[in-house]
Each structure stands twice: as structure tokens, then as C-alpha cells.
Structure 1
Amino acid sequence: MTNAKTLGQAFDALLQPDKFRDYGPNGLQVEGDREVKLLVSGVTASRALIEAAIEADADAIFVHHGLFWKGQDGRVTGWMRERLRLLLTHGIHLFAYHLPLDAHPELGNNAQLARVLGLQADGRFGEQDLGFVGTGVKTWASPQALADHVAAVLGRSVICAGDSNRPVRRVGWCTGGAQGYFEAAIAQGVDVFITGEISEPQAHLARETGVAFLACGHHASERYGAPAVAALVAQDLDIQHRFIDIDNPA
């Protein structure tokens, strides 16, 4: 029988959350009361994902963005009350892994984004080695050509800031809201840096350094790690798995 403890031990063994300084708790965030036969994975523990998991008769949910973060208002009111009410009423376990899911060398968000985009990592950089650096399995004539490729693969528009004609030899990437890693990526000698979001300073840095900055969407860049991890754990524990992607324009 697979219960919350068994599932949590499997996730912990794979993702090793104790190695990371994170912004919230990794692991079991909400304990339900169900035997786990169906595990649903998704990006964020939103109400829409929880409702979809209930509709699917799921017993547990595995996400990248959980419910609890350092510094947030701890009161259980409004939207938080409703998400917790749904989980507890239906006895569904909620597991969330943030930085450990980004960092896993084969199944994490960065590794899986590289897989779908056709990138090969040969190094790491940045705080806690979360950033990846490497080359493409094919070559792109310019950052704009790479941006067009990323847009086609991820199915959304991509912002390309900086020199759109620079030859692409080295690429750095870090999924989600990793715009603060741009300077560390520049120091690695990359021609292009890919992440989910762009803030005002990065456009200036891209223009001034000649290193292109591609922003391809926080959600869009982090759709691949959770289902990869959940599918492997579900296979190992002989339970069912289903990925539910809740569309997000961010």
C-alpha cells in the first residue's frame, strides 16, 4: 500500500531537499487520509489544479509551487482557506518541491527544459548551482533564431532582448523567475541566457553586454520537471500518474 509517508520518502530520496536553502517547505505540505492509487502532477497548487485533481479522483498532488512560502501572511482566509478546504475535504495529500525540483540533473525543470529545447548541459552556475550552461544539439545562427525555436516548442511568445544577431555558441538557462542569474550567466561567457521572466534591469544589461536575454514564461519553462519526477516515482511504486497542465500566461 502506498501512503503519504511512502510517497514522501520516495520524493525525498530522489530530490534530496535537505541540500537546499529554499523559500518554503519541501515535501508533504498538506496531509490527506487516502491510500495513494492516483498521483496528479502540476506546476502550481492553484485552486484550478486542485479541482481538476478532485475531478480525476486523485489521491495525491505533486507540484513545483506549493501553498506555503517564507514571509507570507499565515492566516487561513480567502483563497488559502478555499484551497485547503478542498484538499482536506477530499482527503488529498499535497507534496511540493521548489528548488530541489529545479536542480535535479536529469528530471528537474532545468534538465527537462534542456531536453525539450535540444540543449546539452556541461556545467552549472549561480546560487546553489541552479543555473545550467552548455550548447545546443544543433546550432542557431542568432539569438532571434533560438527565440523562434523556443517559442515554437513551448507554444508561447518569447521576449528577445539585446543583440538578436550575435552568433549562438554557448547558452545559459534557469527556469522560472531566474532573471537575477543573468549576470552570473554573462560571467560564464554565454551568448544567450534563457529564463521565464524578465525585469527592467535585464534589458539594459543585455544591450550593454551584447548577451541576449530570452524570457519564455515562468509557467511555460517549468511544465516539465514535475511530471518527469512524478512519473518515475509512480512507476517505482506501481501507482498511476497523470499530469494536469493549468494554462497560465505568466
Structure 2
Amino acid sequence: MANLYDIVQWCNQTLKANEFKDYAPNGLQIEGKREVHKIVCAVTASETAIDAAIAQQADALLVHHGYFWKGEAYPITGMRGNRIKKLIQNNISLIAYHLPLDAHPDLGNNAAIAELIDLQNLEALDPAEKHSIGNIAYLSNPMSPAEFKAKLQGIFDFDIIHLQCDKTTIQKVGFCTGGAQDFINKAAQQNCDAYISGEISERTFYEAKELGVHYFACGHHATERYGVQRLAKAIAHQFDIETEYFELNNPI
């Protein structure tokens, strides 16, 4: 058993959450019971993830995508109201970390996919950022675009979209998980051969060709499965409590 507020404080300090300007609040979003025996983690605080937390008798739900995003309507009604009502009725806390969990050098989504892809010598995608939410790294052995796509396909189990440019070899790779397709411009400025993110936009088709950067859309959910699992594992080790990952394979 651990104290909810000790867990949140430890996460805030570990992820340096207060140093990020984010699109939603990081940390404790909905307060449940003080004593925490079990945490369920998931990428997104969907109703299905909440139902899984209830079924597993969890005391807290830890996610990458929580609630209260900038630009959302204030009233807690409809779909969001239903989700929040379930959490409150079952006394389950909601803990969410967005950009801090992308950027963390060990626990973050970007760090995780760098290891999965076997990318070496990580650098900041944007050196001007205090905590870069994107990275650059290098393949030990250069690959053809087709070989690289096949490698990514095997890792993410996702129908990867590859937007091609004229480069025949890939070694220097920029990447930022989730919906960071527009960072392809930063990758081009850093002379990357390829750029990886989760989602894709219509404009990305033209940008990849004109900027000279191969673009690989590997799935928003698929690229962001890892940070919450790493953070949950770290929490379990730090506080000696049970954690479990809930997977809902979102095809987007």
C-alpha cells in the first residue's frame, strides 16, 4: 500500500512535470482514495480503460491522455461526464502525464521507441527547447527505406504509412511519438534522412517530398504504449505496489 499523494509527488519530481507548458494538467486530475494498492495504466482514459480499472479493483488509473485539454468545453457532461462519474463513483484516482512522459530520457515514449528501433546517440530534435519532446538518433547500420519500413512494421504491429523522398539510405532519424507530424520541418533542418511520428496530415505528403525526409506514420497509440508502462513499473518498484497495463489496440 502507498499514499496517493506520495506517488503523485514522486512522479511530478521524476518527470519534472512543472517545467513543461502543456495542453492539459499533468499529475492528479481526479482524486480518489488516499490508499493505493493497485494501479492500472493505459494510453488513454477511455471508458473501456476505466471499466478495466474497476474490474481489476484498481485504486488509480495512470494514463498518457487524460482530461481537461485546452479548448475543451467546461461542463462535465456527455461522454466525458460519464467517464468522470464512473471514476468518482468507484473512488478511483486519475493520474495523467502528457509531454513530460514523452520527453523523459529513461521513462518516456521517445526513449522507449529509440530502444525498440535500436537508435543510438540520442540528441534533441530542437536544441532550443529546455526539455525536447522530440529526438534525433542514428542507426548503427544504414538501411534502405524499404528495410526500415519493414523493421518499423515488425516493432509497432501497425499498418505503417511511408511517405517517400529521393534519399536511398536512412541513418539519421528524427522522431516524436503521437501527433507530431509537423515536426518533420525540424527534422529537415537537422538534415535527418527520416522522421517518425504517430499520425499523418494531408500536408505531410507534400512536405516529405519537398523537404527531402522520409516520413513514417507508425500510429499515435502504437508509438505511445510504452511511457505509461515504464512509469508504472518505476512506481511499482519505488512503492512496492501492484501495477498492470491495459491494452486497447487503437488503430489510429
Q: Counterparts of 1:178 and 1:121 in 2: how far apart (Å)?
A: 21
Q: CA RMSD in A?
A: 1.3
Q: Which residue of 1 aligns with 2:235?
A: 233
CA contact (8 A) 2:169 2:193 kept: yes
Runs of 4+ aligned structure 1 residues displaced above 6 Å come to none
| Post-superposition CA distance 1:77-102 (Å, at most 9, x none) | 11111101110111111100000000
Q: Which amino acid aligns with 2:193?
A: D
| 2:5–2:34 contact (8 Å) kept in structure 1 | no
Aligned partner of 1:58 in structure 2 is 58
**Identity in percent:** 41
* Offset of residue 210 of structure 1: 2.3
For 2:122, the equivalent position in structure 1 comes to 122
**Secondary structure, aligned partner of 1:182:** helix
Q: Give the aligned residue type for 1:227.
A: Q
Following the alignment from structure 2 to structure 1, what is the Cα–Cα distance between the partners of residues 124 and 102? 12
2-side partners of 1:25 and 1:98: how far apart?
8
CA contact (8 A) 2:42 2:228 kept: yes
- For 1:47 and 1:154, the matched residues in 2 are separated by 24
Which whole-Å CA distance do the structure 2 matches of 1:230 and 1:137 have between them?
30
SS of aligned partner of 1:170? strand
2:134 to 126, 131, 135: 131
Query: 2:84: which partner in 1?
Result: 84
Gap runs ≥5 in structure 2 = none
Change (3 A) 1:64 1:121: farther
Matched residue pairs, number?
249
Q: Matched residues in 1 for 2:71 and 2:228: separation?
A: 25
Partner of 1:7: 7
Q: Write the distance in 1 (CA, Å) between the matches of 2:37 and 2:166.
A: 49
Contact 1:125 1:185 in 2 (8 A): yes
Q: Is the 8 A contact 2:184 2:213 kept in 1?
A: no
Q: What is the Cα deviation at residue 9 of structure 1? A: 0.8
Q: Distance in 2 between matches of 1:79 and 1:121?
A: 43
Normalising by structure 1, we get a TM-score of: 0.96
Alpha-carbon separation, structure 2, partners of 1:242 and 1:34: 19
Give 1:166 deviation, angstroms. 1.8
Give ranges in structure 1 of 5+ residues lacking alignment: none
User: Distance in 1 between the 2:207 and 2:96 partners?
Assistant: 33
Report the equivalent of 2:198: 196
Kindly report which structure 2 residues correspond to 1:1-250, keeping only aligned pairs within 5 A, or say none.
1-126=1-126, 128-140=131-143, 142-163=144-165, 166-250=168-252
